[in-house]
Chains A and B, each alone.
Chain A
Amino acid sequence: MPIFSLKVNSKSEEVNVDSGTTLLWVLREHLGLMGTKYGCGVGQCGSCTIHINGNPMRACALPVEAVSEGQSITTIEGLSKKGDHPLQKAWVEHQVPQCGYCQSGQIMQAAALLEKNNNPTREEILNHMNGNLCRCGTYMRIFNAIESASKEI
């Protein structure tokens, strides 16, 4: 099996997996970073959202060989040191999560937006977040939390 070198949350990692293995399984089952979730495996739900060089990507849709060593991967575990990213704080303030399963993906998707645009309009937020499903129906609170976090950034 080939060895792949990855930079995850500023740490260099090596994994020995079949090529074609998705980054989602590499992160979760090989590196033990369980915050990134499996929801659909086909890029439809956003539960597996991570950042690659700051861009939101679906880890389930990326084979490990598509990521080069020079690219930096950030997962929810690496978003902030103490869980205190403005979005994470806003998520607690607005009591966003219900079952919580989609929320790593929601926060990572939202973080990528605020990174580029710290004053998004309603439309911009809704469009940017449209690929992230939440079955528990926390969308109203996600929206409010993003709005209030954008004011903190």
Chain B
Amino acid sequence: MKNYQDNSTSVSRRNFLKVSGGFTIGITVVGLVPQLTSCTEDGEDTREMVAKELNAWVHLREDGQIMIYSPASEMGQGSKTALPVILAEELDADWSDVMVKTSPIDPEIYGNAGFGRSGRKIMMNVGSRTVKGYFDSLRQAGAQTRYILLHSVSKTWEVPIEELSTEPSLVVHQKSGKKIPYGDIVEILDIPETIPEFSIDQLKNPEDFRLIWNESIGRVDVPEKTTGEAVFAIDVKVPGMVYGVIERGKVHGASPNLINEAEIRTQDGLIDLVALDYGIGVVANTLEKALEIKQQLNIDWNTDVLAAKHSSQEALESYSKLNQHDETRDLIEKGNVKQAMAKAAKVYSAEYKNDYVYHAQMEPLNAIASISEDQNSIEIWAGTQGPGFVAGAVANALGLEPENVKLNLCYLGGGLGRRSLHDYVIEAAQLSKAVSKPVKLIWTREDDLRYGMYRPMSLQQMKAAIDSEGNITALSHVITGDGSNLLASGAANEFYAIPNQEVKLNIVKNGVRLKHWRAVGHGPNKFAIESFIDQIANDQGVNPLEMRRKLMANFPRALKTLEKTAEMANWDTPPRPGRARGIAFGERSGALCTGICEISLDRDSGKIKVHHFWSAVDGGTIIQPDNAKAQMEGGILMGISSVLSEQLTVEKGEIQQSNFHDYQLMRMADIPESLEIELIPSNDKPQGMGEASTPIVAGAIANAFLALTGKTLNHLPFSPERVKKVLDS
């Protein structure tokens, strides 16, 4: 049995000395005054102990404890642990000495530089870019911290720094055999005038990694997530706090006119009603009272909005016949598709569709806001993927200065893309301001679902040219739907040698709220691409594995995931009768993976059962292998859930589902018998693991279905009713 130690604590630093990029030092006494209940300051160690701030990331305590800040929002992806592991590796820390704390919200220091573009550092956890984006800078910070320790020891021992080396949490002088624990260096700490930038070959050789890819390092947040002690925003209580809920329209954007205001205002326990453009806020003494009053509101909704004209299923049916769109974009043009089509031995075409899906993160949106008496500053408790953007968003909405907005970052009960927008935080702030009290705002599950922001529905029109040798010479992919770039991701085929490719995007505005949903456009786009490839392979009489082998011949990283997965799944031996396997390849945020599933079908009900799922992934350097596997597993199960049952529909603007009885997530009885993940060893830079596996699921299942029945599933989700229709067709 693995004994994972508990390195967790999420404490924000009180005595933090602001540094601007460089290093500063101050002696901080870790000993704190009692706190409000909060998500960041529970469990503080109150022993008085001298600790030194080695730099903005690391505090070293005389008893040897090494506190490392993690700037990640933890939503289940594990980055809160992975980031300090990277730093601790270069610091050569003994992991059992490490304590992890959530960093202050200060993007200049703790931001992720991995968002390219401006080079600006930001604190935003999206697109599986956290580990990837921080990798270089945290290695550098770890190496520089180690340098400070070496320098201090070299001064005290009067030996050249070159003669010193490190072992876990020890500085060693080989020549004399002297060793000093890191904690003892606190007393002799001597921060050098200048600290070098280390080049890549001065950093640790991956062969020497002890912490990176170390199976015995568990996630720091796991222990407290088994005892109920982990604090999510919804769990925060602050003195004097009251409760807020908001009644929103069933049609996105509809504006309210409260008819029974006078009557409502007579209710005991009501503190105030707050009119918003799109809803009525109810603030009451207790949550139950707020919810009760919410139900009693009699609102006349003005639905003169775009969404009111939208009925999803009709709209989706109409997409293939539209000859006018709100906007058309050419996303990719490579080679000459037209010419290749004209010269083709055979041209294939097919259409794929997908309905809206909802995030369904298990913790409904919520936030706590506490406005100051003078209304000039506000304190927030929230789980957010973008902690660096909260101050700006709230300040902007309330007319405050951003420096007067303080965020306490809590655990996120799921992010999945939904918690990267701060509507719910702003709402809490607005309610708090309106009633001049701290307010806990909770979205009910119904609010969260109906006023959600969905992965857009879309139509994918595919066309391919095949030459006389069966090579795919051109691929045309036309995407139609609302959501602009949300539809675009994943349409490019960078790992298939298809000389002529084009991707077009037709935008049709529907007025429904849309958002990034785990892996974004990759879900629908990979579904279309991977299914289409199998349809072509099927018609050509080629094994789908063979077809992909050929396409990937020049892309060894991709090919390796294909070969490995095929081996794991025993692709060459037939499955037992009544079952079939399907294969699909995907890439997302730099991670490449192939998935193979084995399914059976209940022909009476139309229910597809996934029995096995195998996937090999190349995610570059893997920081935490077990967590990387957990991300792959979770992504596959979320994929199966969305592919087999999740469907959100809209009738004249009204969202038709309201809670988990009619928006169905996968349940435990439907899990596969096995779900195997292989991580392909690599010393390349880390890639994004959080979303890699979700996009491969739809194609793998559709392709297994094709192999099993000879029929194609071309509309997500593959609900039993839909499957039955296909079987009967």
Residues of A within 8 A of B (CB): 17-18, 20-22, 25, 28-29, 32-42, 44-45, 47, 75-77, 83, 88, 91-93, 95-104, 107, 125-127, 129-143
Residue B175 CB within 8 A of the other chain: no
Name the contact of A35 in the complex, choosing from B229, B237, B364, B659 (C-beta under 8 A): B229
B146 at the interface (CB under 8 A from A): no
Query: Looking across the interface, which residue of chain B has its beta carbon closest to that of A76?
Result: B228
Q: Which residues of B contact A142 (CB under 8 A)?
A: 668
Binding-face segment, B21-29, B183-191, B406-414, B529-537:
B406-414
CB-defined contacts of B225 to chain A, threshold 8 Å: 97, 100, 103
Q: Identify which of B334-342, B473-481, B633-641 touches chain A.
A: B633-641
- Which residue on A lies nearest to B227, using beta carbons? A83
Given A142-B668, A143-B671, CB of A38 within 8 Å of CB of B234: yes
* A-side contacts of B660, CB under 8 Å: 40, 42, 44-45, 133
Name 29 A/B residue pairs within 8 A (Cβ), A-sorted: A18-B289, A38-B364, A38-B442, A39-B362, A39-B363, A39-B364, A40-B445, A42-B660, A88-B226, A92-B223, A92-B226, A95-B218, A98-B78, A98-B634, A99-B413, A100-B222, A100-B230, A107-B226, A126-B669, A129-B668, A130-B667, A130-B669, A131-B667, A133-B665, A133-B667, A135-B360, A136-B414, A141-B630, A141-B633
Is the beta-carbon distance between B228 and A39 smaller than 8 angstroms? Answer: no
B377 adjacent to chain A (CB < 8 Å): no
Q: List the A side residues contacting B316 at CB < 8 Å.
A: none
Query: B262 on the interface (CB 8 Å rule)?
Result: no
Chain A residues with CB under 8 Å of B636's CB are 137
Q: How far is the CA of A133 from the CA of B234 in the complex (A)?
A: 18
Chain B residues numbered 660-676 whose CB sits less than 8 Å from any CB in chain A? 660-661, 665-669, 671-672, 675
Closest to A21 in B: B288
**In the complex the two chains form, is A140's CB within 8 Å of B637's CB?**
yes
Query: In the complex, what distance in Å separates the CA atom of A42 from the CA atom of B291?
Result: 14
Shortest beta-carbon distance from B251 to chain A in Å: 23
Interface check B361, CB cutoff 8 A: yes
Residues of B219-278 at the interface with A, using a CB-CB cut-off of 8 Å, are 219, 221-223, 225-232, 234-235, 237, 243
Q: Are A93 and B633 in contact (CB under 8 A)?
A: no
Most buried by B among A22, A29, A36, A77: A29
Contact A41 B445 (CB under 8 A): yes
Q: How far is the CA of A40 from the CA of B446 in the complex (A)?
A: 8
Q: Which residue of B lies closest to A123 (CB)?
A: B669
**How far is A133 from B343 in the complex, measured between Cα atoms in Å?**
52
B contact residues around A93 at 8 Å (CB): 1-4
Residue of B222, B362, B416 touching A95 (CB-CB under 8 A) = B222
Residues of chain B within 8 A (CB-CB) of A88 are 226-227
Q: 10 shortest A-B CB distances, which residue pairs?
A: A35-B228, A137-B637, A101-B413, A98-B76, A100-B225, A99-B76, A137-B634, A76-B228, A34-B235, A44-B660
Q: Could you tell me the distance in whole angstroms from the C-beta of B595 to the nearest C-beta in chain A?
A: 14
Q: Which residues of A have CB within 8 Å of B292?
A: 18
The answer on a CB contact under 8 Å between A140 and B362 is no
Within 8 A of A (CB), among B636-664: 636-638, 641, 659-661
Q: Which residue of A75, A100, A129 has the most chain B CB atoms within 10 A of its CB atom?
A: A100
User: B218 to chain A: which residues have CB within 8 Å?
Assistant: 92, 95
Output the nearest chain A residue to B75 by Cβ-Cβ distance: A99
Cβ A76 vs Cβ B227 within 8 A: yes
Is the Cβ of B668 less than 8 Å from the Cβ of A143? Answer: yes
CB 8 Å contact bits of B434-450 with A (1 = contact, 0 = none): 00000000101100000
Contact with A along B199-233 (1 / 0, CB 8 A): 00000000000000000001101110111111110
Minimum CB–CB distance from B690 to chain A (whole Å) comes to 10
Contacts of B363 in A (CB 8 A): 37, 39, 99, 101
B234 contact set on A, CB distance < 8 A: 34, 37-38
- Which of A39, A99, A129, A130 has the largest count of B CB atoms less than 10 A from its CB? A99
Q: Is B287 an interface residue (CB 8 A)?
A: yes
| Chain A, residue nearest B667 (CB) | A130
Which of A36, A91, A131, A134 lies at the interface centre, i.e. has the most chain B CB atoms within 10 A of its CB? A134
Q: Are A99 and B227 in contact (CB under 8 A)?
A: no
Bound CA–CA A77/B230 (angstroms): 11
Tell me the minimal C-beta distance from A51 to chain B in angstroms: 13
With contacts A39-B362, A88-B226, A138-B634 taken as known, whether A95 is within 8 angstroms of B286 at the C-beta atoms is: no
Residues in chain B near residue A95, CB distance under 8 A? 4, 218-219, 222, 626-627, 630
From known contacts A44-B660, A92-B218, A133-B667, infer whether A99 and B630 are also in contact, taking CB-CB under 8 Å.
no
Q: Which residue of B lies closest to A103 (CB)?
A: B225
Residue of B287, B289, B362, B415 with most partner-chain A CB within 10 A: B362
| Chain A residues whose C-beta falls within 8 Å of the C-beta of B414 in the assembled complex | 99, 101, 135-136
Selected contact of B77 from candidates A77, A98, A139, A140, CB within 8 Å = A98
Which of A40, A77, A139 makes the CB contact (< 8 A) with B659? A40
Q: Is the CB of A83 within 8 A of B223?
A: yes
Closest B residue, CB atoms, query A82: B227
Kindly provide the distance from the CB of A85 to the nearest chain B CB, expressed in whole angstroms: 9
Contact A92 B222 (CB under 8 A): yes
Q: Which of B593-628 contact A (CB under 8 A)?
A: 626-627
Q: Which of A25, A41, A100, A129 contacts B76 (CB 8 A)?
A: A100
Fill in one digit per residue for B390-428: 1 if any A CB lies within 8 Å of its CB, else 0: 000000000000000000000111111000000000000
Q: Find the residue from A22, A36, A45, A132 having the highest chain B CB count within 10 A.
A: A45
A129 to B671 CA separation, bound complex (whole angstroms): 11
B661–A99 contact, CB under 8 A? Answer: no
Residues of A within 8 A of B444 (CB): 41
Question: A residues within 8 A CB of B75?
Answer: 99
**How many angstroms from the CA of A36 to the CA of B227 in the assembled complex?**
10
Known: A83-B223, A139-B671. 8 other contacts (CB 8 A): A21-B288, A25-B288, A44-B660, A92-B222, A97-B226, A101-B363, A130-B667, A137-B636
Contact for B633 among A29, A99, A102, A140, CB less than 8 A: A140
Q: A100-B225, A133-B667 are in contact. Are A92 and B4 (CB under 8 A)?
A: yes
Q: How far is the CB of A46 from chain B (nearest CB, A)?
A: 10
Contact of B630 among A102, A129, A138 (CB under 8 A): A138
Give a binary string over B1-26; 1 marks a CB under 8 Å from any A CB, 0 the rest: 11110000000000000000000000
**Chain A residue at smallest Cβ distance from B231:** A34
For the complex, give the distance between the alpha carbons of A7 and B634 in Å. 37
- Selected from B361, B413, B668, the residue in CB contact (under 8 A) with A130 is B668
Query: Complex formed: what's the CA distance from A18 to B627 in Å?
Result: 45
From B234, B638, B668, residue with most partner A Cβ within 10 Å: B668
* A135 close to B362 (CB less than 8 A): yes
- Given known contacts A47-B362, A101-B414, A130-B669, is B637 in contact with A139 (CB within 8 Å)? yes
The answer for the CA separation of A69 and B501 in the assembled complex, in Å, is: 71
Q: How far is the CB of A34 from chain B (nearest CB, A)?
A: 4
Assess A140 versus B671: contact at CB under 8 Å? Given A97-B76, A99-B413: yes
A34 to B117, CA, bound (A): 41
Residue of A nearest to B676 (CB): A140
Specify which of B223, B228, B416, B633 is in contact with A135 (CB 8 Å cutoff): B416
B411 touches A100 (CB 8 A): yes
Question: In this complex, which of B237, B292, B660 has the most chain A Cβ atoms within 10 angstroms of its Cβ?
Answer: B660
Known A39-B445, A92-B218, A130-B667; contact A102-B637, beta-carbon cutoff 8 A: no
